[in-house]
């Protein structure tokens, strides 16, 4: 009979005691594996989601980490807002001129490139406006470029795809400026379908609801990123909601209104002289030029608009809303991708040297978060779970040592039959190893069974897909650690067996 077989028979002979000892060790090992797995999931979620197709996030002065959590992960509250002119500093002259013409503002803005436009050539700058909620999910005001320029996926090379519908437009005859796209998790938990309308709440999930609602025109496929838990709305519609316009000085607004009225009067006069027919004027009245008007015009009552309204109760012509002027606009943050990544450090330094804005690199900030905040917390939890394993190892020691009094005669008989002291000692060590091995395997199985039970919630919350065999790199260290603890726990009982006196125990 082999020594391992003898050790197994001893294990089975004390079934209840062996089971309780093994179970306590399994719980300790299970806790260690869970902590390591949770850390792995958190690390993967943050690190992977920080790589989202842009290399910098620009926002107001404050905490770079808070800016990253707010703009990339939609987790924190906005620090403050930036004037719209800060966003325009990333645009070339032609785009700035188009904005001044469309929305109204200081004509000087249209006479030059933005300060940081040379750094962006070949890249993009996408504005975000935050502050509202759809249920517990963040409402993100942005432009259609969000869905055409940004990438996602492990290699950040996958385009956004839609389970249903399409991306929202700057303006549509059917829904005006009030179109929305929702992430996969938002659609699932809020039970919204294509064509449904929702009304964001202001500033808080339980805040007052806005009177203007957005129609869902697209539902994203799952991306495994924070975008799954956000509702994206047209930036122009976001600005039109109550409380989203930045208060401006009366004199400044009066000057802007006077300029717009004068421009409209000149345009109307030229239109009457050179384009007398309504149909010709209508053809030139695009949504962009309509948006600069201060109220409804005759073009807003044309037959085409009437037909559109008949098709949908939400239909609006562009003239029915006065788009905010540039001084009234603010952005929460700006997503930046440099045309040449080598320009990023220089632009980041230039922005951070200013008095109003800061630029944060999402990957760098997440690495700091993992190193200085999440890492120490997980280390503390790991220490606690290792102590649990040590307590379980002490349980092994106590269990085997307490059984030594009942086994002294058995050991003496083995010795009398020719067994060496080392043979008896080995049996005790093997018995301890059996408890450790069974406890480790049982603990690993328990931990991964728990992970599988909550895999859907983990995927919804983090976007990380886990399975029964999803392991962290550190898990392979658990078994050697537990075996070492078992060896240490076996030393005292093995020493007692080694010193067992044959003569006195045979005559007892």
Q: Please report, for the chain, the start and end positions of each structural domain, with discontinuous segments joined by +.
A: 3-47+368-506, 56-249+323-360, 251-320
Main-chain dihedrals φ then ψ at residue 290, nearest 5 degrees: -65, -35
pLDDT of residue 267: 47
How far does Cα 312 stand from its chain's mean position? 36
pLDDT of residue 43: 76
Which DSSP symbol is given to 410? Answer: H
pLDDT of residue 249: 64
Main-chain dihedrals φ then ψ at residue 349, nearest 5 degrees: -65, -40
3-state helix, strand, coil in the chain (%, to 5): 60, 15, 30
In 76-151, at which residue ranges do the beta strands (DSSP E only) sit? 82-83, 124-134, 137-142
Instruction: Tell me the β-bridge partners of 201.
Output: 133, 209
Q: What is the mean pLDDT of each run of 10 residues along the chain (508 residues)?
A: 76 82 88 85 71 86 91 83 94 94 91 92 93 93 94 79 94 94 93 94 82 94 88 96 80 46 45 39 35 34 37 51 91 93 90 92 85 82 82 83 72 72 82 89 91 78 70 80 86 77 60
Q: Please answer whether residues 377 and 387 qualify as being in contact, where contact means their C-beta atoms are separated by less than 8 angstroms.
A: no
Treating both helix axes as pointing N-terminal to C-terminal, what angle do 404-416 and 421-453 enclose, rounded to 10 degrees?
Answer: 130
pLDDT of residue 502: 63
Contacts of 268 (CB under 8 A, 6+ apart): none
Q: Please answer whether residues 505 and 409 qualify as being in contact, where contact means their C-beta atoms are separated by less than 8 angstroms.
A: yes
How far does Cα 436 stand from its chain's mean position? 38
pTM for the predicted model, two decimal places? 0.70
Taking phi over 0 as left and psi of -120 to 50 as alpha, with beta for the rest, 131 belongs to: left
């Amino acid at each position: 009979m082999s020594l391992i077989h003898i050790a197994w028979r001893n294990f089975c002979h004390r079934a209840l005691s062996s089971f309780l000892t093994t179970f306590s060790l399994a719980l300790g090992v299970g806790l260690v594996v869970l902590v390591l797995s949770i850390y792995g999931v958190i690390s993967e979620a943050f690190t992977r989601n920080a790589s989202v197709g842009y290399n910098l996030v620009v926002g107001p002065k404050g905490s770079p980490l808070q800016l990253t959590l707010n703009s990339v992960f939609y987790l924190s509250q906005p620090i403050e807002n930036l004037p719209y002119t800060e966003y325009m500093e990333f645009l070339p002259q032609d785009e700035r001129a188009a904005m001044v013409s469309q929305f109204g503002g200081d004509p000087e803005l249209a006479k030059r490139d933005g300060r940081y436009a040379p750094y962006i050539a070949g890249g993009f700058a996408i504005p975000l406006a935050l502050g509202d909620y759809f249920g517990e999910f963040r409402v993100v005001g942005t432009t259609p470029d969000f869905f055409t320029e940004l990438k996602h996926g492990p290699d950040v090379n996958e385009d956004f795809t839609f389970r249903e519908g399409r991306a929202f437009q700057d303006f549509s005859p059917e829904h005006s400026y009030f179109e929305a796209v929702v992430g996969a998790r938002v659609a699932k938990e809020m039970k919204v379908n294509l064509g449904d309308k929702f009304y964001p709440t202001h500033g808080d999930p339980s805040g007052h609801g806005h009177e203007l609602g957005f129609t869902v025109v697209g539902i994203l496929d799952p991306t495994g990123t924070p975008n799954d838990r956000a509702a994206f709305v047209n930036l122009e519609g976001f600005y039109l909601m109550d409380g989203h316009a930045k208060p401006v000085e009366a004199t400044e607004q009066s000057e802007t209104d006077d300029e717009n009225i004068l421009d409209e009067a000149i345009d109307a006069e030229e239109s009457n002289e050179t384009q007398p027919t309504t149909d010709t004027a209508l053809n030139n009245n695009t949504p962009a030029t309509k948006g600069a008007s201060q109220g409804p015009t005759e073009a807003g009552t044309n037959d085409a608009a009437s037909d559109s309204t008949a098709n949908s109760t939400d239909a609006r012509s562009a003239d029915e809303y006065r788009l905010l002027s540039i001084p009234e606009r603010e952005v929460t943050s700006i997503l930046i991708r440099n045309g040449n990544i080598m320009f990023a450090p220089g632009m980041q330094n230039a922005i951070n040297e200013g008095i109003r804005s800061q630029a944060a690199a999402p990957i760098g900030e997440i690495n700091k978060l993992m190193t200085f905040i999440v890492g120490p917390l997980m280390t503390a939890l790991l220490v606690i779970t290792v102590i649990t394993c040590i307590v379980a190892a002490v349980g092994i020691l106590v269990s085997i040592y307490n059984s030594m009094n009942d086994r002294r005669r058995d050991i003496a008989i083995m010795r009398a039959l020719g067994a060496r002291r080392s043979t008896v000692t080995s049996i005790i060590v093997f018995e301890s190893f059996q408890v450790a091995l069974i406890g480790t395997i049982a603990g690993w199985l328990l931990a991964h069974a728990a992970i599988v039970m909550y895999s859907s919630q983990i995927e919804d919350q983090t976007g990380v897909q886990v399975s029964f065999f999803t392991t962290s790199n550190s898990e392979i260290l658990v078994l050697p650690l537990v075996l070492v603890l078992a060896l240490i726990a076996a030393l005292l009982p093995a020493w007692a067996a080694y010193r067992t006196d044959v003569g006195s125990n045979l005559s007892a």
